[in-house]
A and B are shown apart, each in its own frame.
Chain A
């Protein structure tokens, strides 16, 4: 499946038919089902979805950070290396150097008993020939680059002495310490207030622009996606529902779920009488419904939707694809943007 393939140079990351299953008492719970996508160098790919849609699990599987009782199938090719077949040792040399991750909660992602500077130094020393002193100086520079005031003093402080926004900046500093080719940011600003979120996103954009790294931005916030992403991937109940460039997905969506999601958020600039809500709840992944997982909640569902899982089919737009058998019946001329 190469529908998600934009017109771009050789992709940095190619994910082919990735599935992730967790063993549980109720059998294997498939958190990610047959997901394929690519990320080109320097591109921002946003992965959106509600909780439990499999967006974070996808990222953890790429980084090989999943728990032991996990079944992973498919191929993950990063920079001509097959990540899934790598030994732990090899993977460790890539993690934090070529691929770095920014987590939602910096308080639990950092070690509370080491100073912030020491933690950045650790990741530098591990992947380069720098000695500790050089690494420390570099750490201070990195903290300055992400906008931590008084970086010299702050480097020797501990994570608890940082505020939420500062901690997230420190985590970004740590992530970019070795100029990664791919940054995976998993809900990087969800724990932050809007004014601080704006600061941190600004840092992320700057960093990404300067280093030219690609970014996979995982979020549930469609506003953040609209402002940050080149391409968008919408996930629902472990599958990709729609993928395409940001304008295609927001203005010319060919998927009932994406549309319903966009319609259900209140808008800051206009007032709607009532929100169009999506009835029901997301399905249980242990017992997914047959056919399209969204069908039970979909306003466009027809009996055929329950027969088989629909394929991701190309629709109008470069690399734009939607998983819905009624794609052809959808009126694509969505409201023209102002």
Chain B
């Protein structure tokens, strides 16, 4: 990483208004969310037979609603196939959502026409998981980072200068602009992807597993960089990841997804200290901690079975087949995401109370649960 003092001047400072501002949130009032997602649904058709008739659908995202506030990082966690990446992509309409609203300020992103969508995307950007697949191997870095500016009509000369600034800012050198992606390591490529996402001074960046392809020593560099950039450019992040430790570190609030639905949404302290959804508790207990003594003392709840297929999700609460404390109601009625305490949303008919552990509840109900303790 370069020394912070030689980052070079950047005309992307917080006070000047970006020339690419889509104008969608010019009237945002203090305390109002930047992004309001309402009842977002994405279903992928399953086609079969000679006529490719639709025989079913994969319910990747079902009825997801949340707010994203200015300057906030909202973490989205879940296991593979829970729909977190699909959610991230549908917000930017990189895949078209089936239904629902994505309100960016006063404007519904899902209704924007082609041109308007392009303008909006200068405010809504994305960083992808795979730093190898997300950079065009045939373009030099300067073109990769400069492309968004070219599309939005920045002059060649200005773009060149700003690419240099951006590269400096993410810890690379301006001279690196002439090189091609294969000349960089995974961590450096991820920095390039971040520089590209910053090119148009966005307000929201969707980070889809931005560090999961990186080694831990490099992961910390990129996480710290994202942190600095957020303060410097007033960014709001939607941070999608499967690693709960990383999400806890980066996020202000966290949404836990299970099989296309939000299981729990709350601030990070409440989520880790008082998780109310049985799934959240078992997920947290499954994460290994890099501390041998704590590991020896922990009681780990082992969930039975695998995540069911989203093509044929269970009726009622989607977690009920694996839930150690499920009751009859859970298999019949789908729980709504409800606010149990201010700012703490849970979709469970029988949420765990503050201080109540899943283990307590299981024992109280006389159920068997697989516990691992070394």
Bits for A269-297, please: 1 = Cβ < 8 Å to B, else 0: 10110111111011000000000000001
Report which of A198, A222, A250, A266 forms a contact with B372, defined as CB distance below 8 A. Answer: A198
A: residues with CB less than 8 A from B are 50-51, 163-166, 193-199, 201-202, 205, 220-228, 246-247, 250-251, 260-262, 264-269, 271-272, 274-279, 281-282, 297, 337-338
Greatest chain A CB density within 10 A among B245, B246, B290, B293 is at: B290
Contact A205 B374 (CB under 8 A): yes
Is B288 among interface residues, defined by CB-CB distance under 8 A? yes
Report which of A199, A226, A250, A268 forms a contact with B303, defined as CB distance below 8 A. Answer: A199
CA distance A272 to B303 in the complex (A): 29
A95 to chain B, nearest CB (A): 29
Contact A227 B288 (CB under 8 A): yes
Contact B306 A267 (CB under 8 A): no
Contacting residues, chain B, for A274 (C-beta < 8 A): 224, 227
9 sampled A-B residue pairs with Cβ under 8 A: A51-B215, A165-B306, A196-B79, A202-B302, A223-B289, A227-B295, A275-B249, A277-B221, A278-B218
Is B14 among interface residues, defined by CB-CB distance under 8 A? no
Interface positions of B from 59 to 82, Cβ below 8 Å from A = 79-80
Nearest B residue to A223, CB-CB: B288
Nearest B residue to A205, CB-CB: B374
Is B339 among interface residues, defined by CB-CB distance under 8 A? no
Q: Which of B44-52, B97-105, B130-138, B278-286 contacts A (4 or more CB under 8 A)?
A: B278-286
CA distance A196 to B218 in the complex (A): 26
Contacting residues, chain A, for B246 (C-beta < 8 A): 266
Greatest chain A CB density within 10 A among B185, B215, B286, B293 is at: B215
Nearest B residue to A193, CB-CB: B79
Is B287 among interface residues, defined by CB-CB distance under 8 A? yes
Report which of A202, A251, A277 forms a contact with B217, defined as CB distance below 8 A. Answer: A277
CA distance A202 to B187 in the complex (A): 33
Is B244 among interface residues, defined by CB-CB distance under 8 A? yes
Contact B286 A197 (CB under 8 A): yes
B248 to chain A, nearest CB (A): 6
B280 to chain A, nearest CB (A): 11
Is B162 among interface residues, defined by CB-CB distance under 8 A? no
Greatest chain B CB density within 10 A among A164, A222, A268 is at: A268
Given A227-B295, A281-B185: A267 in contact with B242 (beta carbons within 8 A): no
Q: How many residues does chain B have at the interface if contact means C-beta atoms less than 8 Å apart?
A: 48
Contact A265 B215 (CB under 8 A): no
Is B300 among interface residues, defined by CB-CB distance under 8 A? yes
Bits for B253-293, please: 1 = Cβ < 8 Å to A, else 0: 00000000000000010001000000000111111111111
Given A227-B295, A266-B249, A278-B221: A50 in contact with B288 (beta carbons within 8 A): no
A334 to chain B, nearest CB (A): 12
Contact A246 B292 (CB under 8 A): yes
A166 to chain B, nearest CB (A): 7
Interface positions of B from 302 to 336, Cβ below 8 Å from A = 302-303, 306-307
Greatest chain A CB density within 10 A among B221, B300, B306, B370 is at: B306
A135 to chain B, nearest CB (A): 28
Give me the 4 closest cross-chain CB pairs, A-B, nearest first: A223-B288, A277-B220, A266-B249, A193-B79
Contact A202 B289 (CB under 8 A): no
Contact B242 A271 (CB under 8 A): no
CA distance A278 to B245 in the complex (A): 18
Nearest A residue to B306, CB-CB: A163
Contact B80 A265 (CB under 8 A): no
Nearest B residue to A277, CB-CB: B220
Contact B217 A250 (CB under 8 A): no
Is B28 among interface residues, defined by CB-CB distance under 8 A? no
Contacting residues, chain B, for A338 (C-beta < 8 A): 293-294
CA distance A220 to B303 in the complex (A): 24
Is B340 among interface residues, defined by CB-CB distance under 8 A? no
Is B216 among interface residues, defined by CB-CB distance under 8 A? yes
Contact A202 B372 (CB under 8 A): yes
Contacting residues, chain A, for B223 (C-beta < 8 A): 266, 275, 277
CA distance A195 to B292 in the complex (A): 19
Contacting residues, chain B, for A247 (C-beta < 8 A): 292-293
Is B1 among interface residues, defined by CB-CB distance under 8 A? yes
Is B219 among interface residues, defined by CB-CB distance under 8 A? yes
Bits for B199-223, please: 1 = Cβ < 8 Å to A, else 0: 0000000000000000111111101
Given A195-B79, A221-B288: A50 in contact with B217 (beta carbons within 8 A): yes
Contact A195 B219 (CB under 8 A): no
CA distance A100 to B245 in the complex (A): 32
Contact A265 B245 (CB under 8 A): yes
CA distance A165 to B306 in the complex (A): 8
B254 to chain A, nearest CB (A): 12
Given A205-B374, A227-B295: A50 in contact with B227 (beta carbons within 8 A): no
A219 to chain B, nearest CB (A): 10
Report which of B187, B242, B372 forms a contact with A281, defined as CB distance below 8 A. Answer: B187
Contact B215 A262 (CB under 8 A): no
Bits for B180-199, please: 1 = Cβ < 8 Å to A, else 0: 00000101100000000000
B14 to chain A, nearest CB (A): 20
Given A165-B306, A226-B295: A264 in contact with B372 (beta carbons within 8 A): no
Contact B289 A50 (CB under 8 A): no
Contact B219 A268 (CB under 8 A): no
Contacting residues, chain A, for B286 (C-beta < 8 A): 194-195, 197-198
Contact B217 A194 (CB under 8 A): no
A319 to chain B, nearest CB (A): 16
Contact A260 B307 (CB under 8 A): no
Nearest A residue to B269, CB-CB: A271
Contact A275 B220 (CB under 8 A): yes
Greatest chain A CB density within 10 A among B80, B248, B249, B370 is at: B249
